[in-house]
Structure formats: C-alpha cells, structure tokens
Structure 1
Amino acid sequence: MASLPPPPLASVSPPVPSYVVALADDLSGAAETACALGGPVRLSLNAVAVAEIAAAHDLVVDLDTRHLTRAEAAYAVRAALRAARTGPPRLLYKKVDSQLRGHLAAEAAAYAEGAEAVVIAPALPAAGRTVTGGVVHVNGVPLHRTDGWRAERAPVPRSLPEALSGLPIRTIPLDVVRSEPAALEAEFRRIAASGAHPAPDTETDADLDAVAAAALRLGPGFRLLGSGGLAAGLGRALLRPVAVTPSPVPSPEGTPLLFVVGTAEPGAVAQIAHLAALGAHHVPLDPADLAAGTVCLPRTGGAPALTVLSIDGSGGPRPGAGRALSAALGALAAAYPGRPDLVLTGGETARTTLDALDIRELEPFGEIHHGAVHSRTPDGRRVVTRPGSYGAEDSLLRIAVALRPRLAAAIAAT
C-alpha cells in the first residue's frame, strides 16, 4: 500500500505586534526616538513610567543621565531594566548620542547585563553621522577630528571600541552588513558566542534597516543600542498599528513663542539671526551672570510675540558647566510671562525647562524637520524639542513658521 503523504506544515500565524521600551539619556534624544519608532507612543520624563506600562504603545523614557556620575547613570539604566521586567514583554532599545557623548560606556555595560548580546549602531545618516571601520564620521570627517566634543570634559573617543572601553566590541564591515541576511545573523551569533558585542558599520538607512531586522530575527536576547537612526530602522521592521495622532490645535491668538537656545553649537548664532531679522526680541545672557542668578530679563511692556533667550558663547565653551547653565536658563524660561509655547534646543535645556514647569510627559505630534519634534503637554502647551547640534541655518525659522503660520506672509514680504 502506498504510503500517505506527510501532513501539510502548520501555517505560520502572523507575528504579534511588538512594542518597545526605549531608554534615552536626554530629552531631545528621547523625543527624536519617540518619532522615529513610528508607532503609538508615550514619552515620559519619569522613569517610574517603565513599571506602569500596560497599554499597546511604545514607551520612551528620558532617564536624564547626562549630568549624573558614571555610576549613577549605570544605576538608572539597571533600575529601568528591572522595572521593565515587571510589565508585559517589551522589546528593549537604548538610545545613545550619535556623537557618543554622555556616559556611553557605563550605560552600555549596564544595558548589556542579562543580554545575549547588544547590537551597537549609533549612525544617524539624516544628520551626516556614519560608522565606517568602527569609527564615527560626521559629514565624512572622523569624529575625533571635529569639534563635536568641544564642550565636553573628556577627550573625544577615536572609535567605538574606545568609546565603549570595558565592553568587548567586534566591528562588522559593510560588505557583511550588505550581504545576505543569513550571513549578518550568523556574524551576530558568532560574535555573541565569543562573549563580545557586534558593532556593524552603517552608512545608510538601508544598512540600519538590515541591522535592526537581523537583531529582531535573533530574538529578544539581542538588544539594540543606537541613535534615532537605528530606532527608525526598528520601527520599520516591527508589525504594529500606524500611529494616529490628531492634528495639533493652534494656540490661542496672541500666545507668545519663546525660544530657549541652550546649545554651544556655533551654528546657533546664524539660526538666531534669522529670527532677529524677522523682529524677534533676542536676549543674549552672560554665562557668569546666569550661573550667579543675577540675570533680570529686560522689561518690554508685555511678552513679545517672539523672544529668544540664549547663552552668549563669545567667551568660548565652558566644559563641565553645561548642566548648571541649563538649569539657570530653564528656570528663567519657566518664569517668562504669558505662558508661551516653547522651542527648546539642547537636551539638557529642554529637560531643565520642563522640570522647572513640572511637566512630566509629552505627546509627540511629529517632526517639523529632522530632530525638531513637535509635542503637546498635558495642559495643552505646545513644545518643540531639538538637539543642539541639529538643523540648518534656517532651522529655528522653520520651527517658528510651523508654530505661527502667519509668519510665512511676513517672510514673503521681506
């Protein structure tokens, strides 16, 4: 008697939508990640939110660790990971600075505890940041040959293995990243089996997509660590509902718009000049007076429609003074009259301003341009956060027009 054919293979059910808990070290990066992931999202300034999550959405938490010691930053990451284990299963993501600033080594080591491996890819092609040969490049120039670390106390790392000193790293060349998916997965497994962590070279969004997809196929034991670029790749690789965000309601007529520019980036001067040409009231603040608490905003007979508070950088960067200056600037912004909408550049400036206003959560709407995230506070105030190093010369002008569309007519008339 002829043998019966084998039973058909069981059909594979579609994958269950997966949601992410992302841990960021500063607020502008957290907001960037919230938009990059692309799904329904909650953006919290309170690490306690990690233990409370239950709904079907991503959770991005600003751990605000840049100003902490290395040990404190590592503890914050460990505490968040412990809290994440108490809720429903979630994918983990660690957001880091694309220029490797902050307590990268300490936080990565804490994040790696309990993982099979951490896949490390901090490239951000949209901002000109790529990784080749294990070296971060900014617009084609190795990071250690740029001035991206001029406001940092520590020397700039020359490579990812140096930046992650103490964590065994193995780089992966582009030809492997761009080969068959199975080859990249096999390389991830081989490196993990050796007790190290893979750091693939990445130059494009397609490279980051390949890295994110390979890590997902290998299971939750392979955790992802990267910038907003890898977060976007993760979002594209996941199956879940598209985020539906209502259009922002315009602010009441006459609401002031306050720009708080806490970045030391030289490009900020030209960005502010575009607003000043439009009639914005610019108040440059002396760093010594700001730190001493002796700054008094000039009286203007009411809050102007557009105001810019910035730190006068003519004396050069002040390594190590960033948090104190940001806190003083944030307190000044929080006391500004008229309950203005806010544009906050620099992660520490954004965080200290919202802390001074006791704002613990943001609802992101989307990006005005890359990295300039438009959000709403629980009480309806509109806030735009943007990393200090982002944006072309017209960045602040574009944000102003997005928040105050009538300005477009004034620009056209000039």
Structure 2
Amino acid sequence: MASPPPPPLPSAPPPVLPYVVALADDLSGAAETARALGGPVRLSLDAADVAGTAAAHDLVVDLDTRHLPPADAAHAVRTALRAARADPPPLLYKKVDSQLRGRLAAEAAAYAEGAEAVVVAPALPAARRTVIGGVVHMNGVPLHHTDGWRAERASAPRSLPEALSGLPIRTIPLDVVRSVPAALDAAFRRIAASGAHPAPDAETDADLDAVAAAALRLGPGFRLLGSGGLAAALGRALPRPAAAAPPPMLERDHTPLLFVVGTAEPGAVAQIARLTVLGARHVPLDPADVAAGTVRLPPAAAAPSLTVLSIDGSAGPRPGAGRALSTALGALAATCPGRPDLVLTGGETARTTLDALGIRELEPLGEIHHGAVHSRTPDGRHVVTRPGSYGGEDSLLRIAVALRPRLAVSTAAIRTCHRPPPA
C-alpha cells in the first residue's frame, strides 16, 4: 500500500512591502507624485494624516509650504517626519520643485535631520529638465539663464549647492551614475561618510532609475529628495500591487467645467485661446479686483458649460503677490454656480480653490498628459491639477476633451475648417 503523500510545506508569508510617505510643498506636485508612485495611494491635503498612515497604501501629503516663511516650512517638515515614525518605518520621499522654487534649503535641512544622507535629484526628463554638473537645465539652458523665476522675489540659484545653502552637497557626475551599481553605491557612501549629501547628475529616466535603486540598496538611512521624475523612478523600483482600475466615467456633459488658471507662465495665453475657439467663456480678472473681492460671477442660468478664470497678466508678473492672488482666485472659483468639475493650474491655485471648497482628500484616477493628474473628490466631483509651467499649447484643450469627450467632435471640426488648402 502506497504511503500517503507528505503534507504540503507551509507557504512562506508574502514579503512585507515598504510603504512610502511622500511630503510635497504644493498640491499639483503632490498629485504628480501620487500618480508617479503607482499602486494604491492616498493623496491628502491634511498634514495630520501622516500619523494615521496605513501600511496598505502609500501616502502623499501636500504640506502647502511653498508660500510659508522658511522657518515655518521647515517646522512643517519636521512635524510630519515625527508623525511618520512607525514600525516598520515607511520609506520617506520629499517632493521638490524641478525649478528649485519654494523653501528648498530650509525644508531640505529639516528633512536631512536624522538621516544618514539625503540623495538630491530634482531632474525631470519628461519636461526636459536635467541636472549636469550640479546645475539644473531647462531645455538645455541653465536655470539661472531662463525666466523660470519671473514671478519670484529672488533670482534663480546657479547650482544645487547654492540652492541648498547650509546643507553640504557633493555632486556626482553622469559617468558614475551610469557605471556599475557598486561604483554609485560607493560614491553615495563616501559622500555620506564625509558629512555631506550626494547630488547625482541625471539626464534620463534611466539615470534616475539608477539613483533610486542605489538609495534603496543602501537602506532607509538614505532618503530621497527630488521632483516627480525621481518619484516615478522610486515607483518603478518598488514592487506594488496594481492600483484598482477607476470605474468608467459617467456622462457629465451637463456638468459645467471650470478652468482656474493661476499661473504666470506666458504659454497660458495660448492654452486659453484653444478653449475659447471651442466656445469657452474666458473671464480675465484684474488682479486688483480679485484681491479686493469685487468680482462676481453670473448665476448658473447664464453660465456656459466651459468657463475659464485667469488673472490678467498684461501688466507683467507681480513677484511676491502669488499667494494672495491665488487665495482670492480660489475663493472666487468656489462661488461658481452649478457645482462644476475643476481644472486647476498652478499648485497654489489648486490648493486655495480646494481649501475654499472644504475638500481635504483626492483619489487619483489617471494622468491626461504629463503632470495633468485627474482625480476625484470623496463626493464625486472631478478635479484635474497641473503645475503652471507644464504642458504645451494644447494642454488645456486635451484636458477638456478627456473630461468631456463630446468636445472631440468640435475639435476635429475646427481642425478641418483651419486646415490649409492643398498646394
């Protein structure tokens, strides 16, 4: 008689996947990071949520510090880091602006406290923003030779060490980043042992993949600080369960769609023009009237299905006035009748609009184009956030068609009417 088969060996428990707690300084960057990480993720507008993180989900929190004094911004980062302590500890990520705006030096110094080293990599290849020799380049031009800081009170920093003044930074050239993993690991360790922080050059997503992989190999003492490009590299490096597919979008053609354009970027004018051709009503707002709260929107019956609110920038940028204008613009947008879906460009404008509406959490659903993140609020409203400096001339048009597919027919007709005659 044959002996019974041996009992099956107990299966090994599934590996515990580290979860990520990412801290952003503005809302559009937080949304970009949430999509970049992939997998199940929560996007919160409430810093207190860091303390309640569940290991089943990554968490991205908008600390909303871009406009704060440096000491207050640093305090917000320290408070979030204390709240994030858990067992097992999360992987920490600090999202920063790829153009180095905000309270970068103060926040990075706070983020570095208690770390073996902070790996600084703000390159964003998808937007043609690279780092060579420790200098951020936009479309191949050094940042300090561009107008990327036109709306800031200060001049753009000439290098990462200058931008992170007070935090010792050592750059790592591309040939080391692209060499064997052991060489990059050794460079990170050597710089950390000297009391400094590594800032590897990067031109491509593959460069950022190498940087993220090296930091993960060296353990949680090496914290990552970078743009959405490095966040995407981290997402590619981490095994993650697939995010649940969003439910099909119900027909929303009768729901108004409100664009709130809070960016000072010159390209916004052309982006808005593409919408007005489709019949969108554009309401350029005088900055003084917005700040004074004297602008009133028409009643729901008079409101078209597509409305664009923007700050009239014909008088040029107003350095230092961004937050006050964003707050007033957000408060105005919140009064728009008909409970519209929202397209919000510029991180501060996105945050102040959602604050005025009492929205504290977003569920990311997808990305319409790079940086244009489509989310849903807990009560079902659809929201697209996009950094002000992102997107080509057709950016807002692409977003409109994604949210209202019927507009694709009108767009095709417009292209046909404007097609040049054959030669």
TM-score by length of 1: 0.95
Q: Aligned pair in 2 of structure 1 residues 300, 337: CA closer, same or farther (>3 Å)?
A: closer
1:212-241 deviations in Å (ceiling 9; x for gaps)? 000000000000000000000001111121
Q: Aligned pair in 2 of structure 1 residues 314, 87: CA closer, same or farther (>3 Å)?
A: farther
Q: What is the identity, as a one-letter code, of the residue corresponding to 1:81?
A: L
Deviation at 1:246, TM superposition (A): 1.8
Q: What is the identity, as a one-letter code, of the residue corresponding to 2:280?
A: A
In 1, the alpha carbon distance for the partners of 2:243 and 2:190 equals 36
In 2, the alpha carbon distance for the partners of 1:333 and 1:50 equals 29
Q: Aligned pair in 2 of structure 1 residues 269, 372: CA closer, same or farther (>3 Å)?
A: same
Deviation at 1:243, TM superposition (A): 1.5
| Alignment of structure 1 residues 188-227 onto 2, 5 Å | 188-227=188-227
Deviation at 1:17, TM superposition (A): 1.5
| Alignment of structure 1 residues 261-300 onto 2, 5 Å | 261-298=261-298
In 1, the alpha carbon distance for the partners of 2:300 and 2:83 equals 48
Q: Does 1:79 align with 2:79?
A: yes
Aligned to 1:167: 167
| Alignment of structure 1 residues 73-222 onto 2, 5 Å | 73-86=73-86, 88-222=88-222
1:354-399 deviations in Å (ceiling 9; x for gaps)? 0000000000011000000000000000000000000000000000
Q: Does 1:411 align with 2:407?
A: no
| Alignment of structure 1 residues 225-244 onto 2, 5 Å | 225-244=225-244
Deviation at 1:245, TM superposition (A): 3.0
Deviation at 1:15, TM superposition (A): 5.2
Deviation at 1:48, TM superposition (A): 0.5
1:83-104 deviations in Å (ceiling 9; x for gaps)? 0004642100000000000000
Task: Tell whether the 8 Å contact from 1:263 to 1:388 is kept in structure 2 after alignment.
Answer: yes
TM-score by length of 2: 0.93
Aligned to 2:8: none
Aligned to 2:9: none
In 2, the alpha carbon distance for the partners of 1:168 and 1:14 equals 40
Q: Secondary structure at the match of 1:48?
A: helix
Q: Does 1:256 align with 2:256?
A: yes
Identity of counterpart residues, as a percentage?
A: 84
256-265 or 15-24, larger mean C-alpha shift: 15-24
In 2, the alpha carbon distance for the partners of 1:408 and 1:376 equals 22
In 2, the alpha carbon distance for the partners of 1:147 and 1:137 equals 12
Q: What is the identity, as a one-letter code, of the residue corresponding to 1:354?
A: L
Q: Aligned pair in 2 of structure 1 residues 248, 330: CA closer, same or farther (>3 Å)?
A: farther
In the alignment, structure 2 segments of 5+ residues that lack a partner are 1-11, 415-423
| Alignment of structure 1 residues 42-53 onto 2, 5 Å | 42-53=42-53
1:306-334 deviations in Å (ceiling 9; x for gaps)? 00000000000000100000001000100
Q: What is the identity, as a one-letter code, of the residue corresponding to 1:297?
A: L
In 2, the alpha carbon distance for the partners of 1:256 and 1:299 equals 12
In 2, the alpha carbon distance for the partners of 1:113 and 1:196 equals 12
39-48 or 296-305, larger mean C-alpha shift: 296-305
Q: Secondary structure at the match of 1:85?
A: coil
In 2, the alpha carbon distance for the partners of 1:182 and 1:306 equals 55
Task: Tell whether the 8 Å contact from 2:260 to 2:308 is kept in structure 1 after alignment.
Answer: yes
1:342-362 deviations in Å (ceiling 9; x for gaps)? 000000000000000000000
Q: What is the identity, as a one-letter code, of the residue corresponding to 1:154?
A: A
Q: What is the identity, as a one-letter code, of the residue corresponding to 1:210?
A: A
Q: Aligned pair in 2 of structure 1 residues 35, 283: CA closer, same or farther (>3 Å)?
A: same
Q: Secondary structure at the match of 1:379?
A: coil
In 1, the alpha carbon distance for the partners of 2:267 and 2:88 equals 43
In the alignment, structure 1 segments of 5+ residues that lack a partner are 1-11
Q: What is the identity, as a one-letter code, of the residue corresponding to 2:109?
A: A
Q: Secondary structure at the match of 1:339?
A: coil
In 2, the alpha carbon distance for the partners of 1:277 and 1:300 equals 22
In 1, the alpha carbon distance for the partners of 2:251 and 2:313 equals 32
User: Please, what is the CA RMSD of the aligned residues?
Assistant: 1.4
1:146-169 deviations in Å (ceiling 9; x for gaps)? 000000012210000000000000
Q: What is the identity, as a one-letter code, of the residue corresponding to 1:235?
A: G
Aligned to 1:337: 337
